[in-house]
Amino acid sequence: MNTPLARLIQLLPPPSAFPPKGWESIEAELDVGPPTDQKELIDAASEQAEVYEELWDFEEKPGELEEEGSFVVPWATTDNGEWLFWRASPDVHPDSWTVLLNEAHGEEWEHYEMTCTEFLVAAPSGDVAPTFSGLVSRNRPVTSPP
């Protein structure tokens, strides 16, 4: 198990009632396997990833997806409504996919050069600070809207 996932599981233990997923059908649908840390995280939390191309019917692709063949795969949402995606490409190994964060009520995107579990450890610890996200750091004060 990778180090960020071990840290994440230590911070937020997963439920134990869910069996691991069969990744063959997901990998066949994506035509590539999700990153290893995501498989381990999903096996721990029992959810599945899917390609999310319908988004471009409603908003413009971010600049990080201008590369031919680039696409996004959703892997989480926040309680504020932001979406977390992988920035994926057929010529990039899934373990090297990076994180794109999409604003909940707008078309802003932020790119993070890290894996999903690295991001899930970095955001609440304050190592990264999304500018528009409801992700709250223990190192930053929580304020109420005026």
Q: What is the pLDDT of residues 25-57, one digit of tens each?
A: 777 877 887 788 777 776 664 444 455 666 777
pLDDT of residue 33: 77
The candidate with the shortest Cα–Cα distance to 101, out of 85, 81, 116, 87, is 85
DSSP for 9-71, please give it: HHHSPPPSS-PPP-HHHHHHHHTSPPPHHHHHHHHHH-------GGGGGTSPPPGGG-STT-E
Extents of the domains making up the chain: 3-57+64-116
Residue count of the chain, please give it.
146
Distance CA 40, CA 95 (A): 12
Q: CA torsion 139→73→21→8, rounded to 10°?
A: -10
Q: What is the pLDDT of residues 60-69, one digit of tens each?
A: 888 998 888 8
Q: What is the pLDDT of residues 128-145, one digit of tens each?
A: 888 876 665 444 433 333
Residue 131, SS3? Answer: coil
Rounded to two decimals, what is the model's pTM? 0.62
pLDDT of residue 134: 61
Whether pLDDT at 20 is above 50: yes
Least confident of 20-24, 26-30, 56-60, 116-120: 20-24
For the segment 63-83, the average pLDDT, to the nearest whole number, is 85
